Amino acid sequence: MKRLVLAALLTGAWLVGAQPALAHFGMIIPDRPLVEKEDPKTINLQFRFWHPMENQGLELGKPQEAGYMLGGQKHDLLASLKEVKVQGHATWAASLPIKKPGDYIFYMTPPPYFEPAEDKFIIHYTKTVVGVLNKQEGWDNPVGQKMEIIPVTRPYGLYAGNTFSGQVLFKGKPLANSEVEVEFFNADGKRKAPGEAYVAQVVKTDANGLFTWGLPWPGWWGFAALTEDTQTMKKDGKDKKVELGGVLWVYAHGQN
C-alpha cells in the first residue's frame, strides 16, 4: 500500500517516473454516524475497496465476513449483502433495521486482493462504529480481527479539529512502530491535494501500539494500520507476501 517511485537507468541517465501506487482502503460507510431518536431507525451501509481521496474504485469480491457487534454479541450480515456497481466496480450494500440502542460495530473481512504493482496480496479488516440512541457503551470492544484498531477516543460525536487516538492490535497484541495511513473520503471531489504526499497522511504507533491524529475538516476519515503477515499466499504457483490492514472509519462533524 506504500506509494512507489519507479526508477530506470536509460542511456546513462536516471529517469524517475511518477507512477505511484495509490493507497487502498477497505471501507464501511453508513448513511450517518449517529442515530438520534428523531432519525429513521434503519442504517444503510456501503462496503467498498477504494482509493478514498481520489475517489477511484477497485473491485471488492463478496466479503468473507460481514456483520456487526452489539453488546459483545456478533450478528451476521452476509446474507443481506447486495452487489452494487459503482464506477463499474463491485461494491456491496446492506440495510439494518435498528431494534436496540447501543454502539453498533460494523465489520468486514474482504477476500484477498492481489496488487500487481506491489506484487503482494492485500487484506483489510475494516470497521466502523455507529452510536445509536446515545447509549454510548461498547465502542471500544475488540471484534477479534487478525489486524484491528481499537478506538481510544470515542469514534463518533467528533468535531473537525478534534484529535483521534487508537491502538493497533495484531493477533490481539499491541503492534509497535506500525505505519497508520490516513485518508479522507473525498466523495464529492471538492478536496484537491496540493501534492502526492498530501493524499495519504502517515503516522506511526508507539511502543504500546498507540497513535494520535487530528481531523482537519468535516467528513469521513479512514485509518489503515499496516503490517506484513507472517504467512504467504500462492499466486501462479509462487509465494507472495500478504499486507494486512486494520482499518477504522470515523466521521468528523463541521463546527457550527
Read off the pLDDT of residues 137-178 as tens digits, 9 standing for 90 and up: 999 999 999 999 999 999 999 999 999 999 999 999 999 999
Say if 13 falls within a structural domain. no
pLDDT value of position 17: 39
Say if 187 falls within a structural domain. yes
Say if 2 falls within a structural domain. no
- Asked whether 168 and 246 are in contact (CB, 8 A), the reply is yes
Q: Which three cell numbers stand for residue 96?
A: 439494518
Q: Which three cell numbers stand for residue 97?
A: 433495521
Say if 166 falls within a structural domain. yes
Read off the pLDDT of residues 190-199 as tens digits, 9 standing for 90 and up: 999 999 999 9
pLDDT for 22 beyond 90: no
Average pLDDT over residues 202-223: 98
For residue 52, which of 251, 161, 189 has the smallest C-alpha distance?
A: 189
Radius of gyration of the chain (CA): 18
Say if 17 falls within a structural domain. no
Tally of structural domains, the chain: 1
Read off the pLDDT of residues 27-65 as tens digits, 9 standing for 90 and up: 999 999 999 999 999 999 999 999 999 999 999 999 999
Q: Which three cell numbers stand for residue 171?
A: 493477533
What domain range includes position 237? Answer: 25-253
For residue 198, which of 188, 183, 178, 211 has the smallest C-alpha distance?
A: 183
The CATH number linked to 110 is 2.60.40.10
pLDDT for 16 beyond 50: no
pTM listed for this prediction? 0.91
Q: What is the DSSP string of 242-253?
A: EEEEEEEEEEEE
Say if 130 falls within a structural domain. yes
Letter for the amino acid at 226?
A: L
pLDDT for 231 beyond 80: yes
Which one-letter DSSP state was computed for residue 110? Answer: P
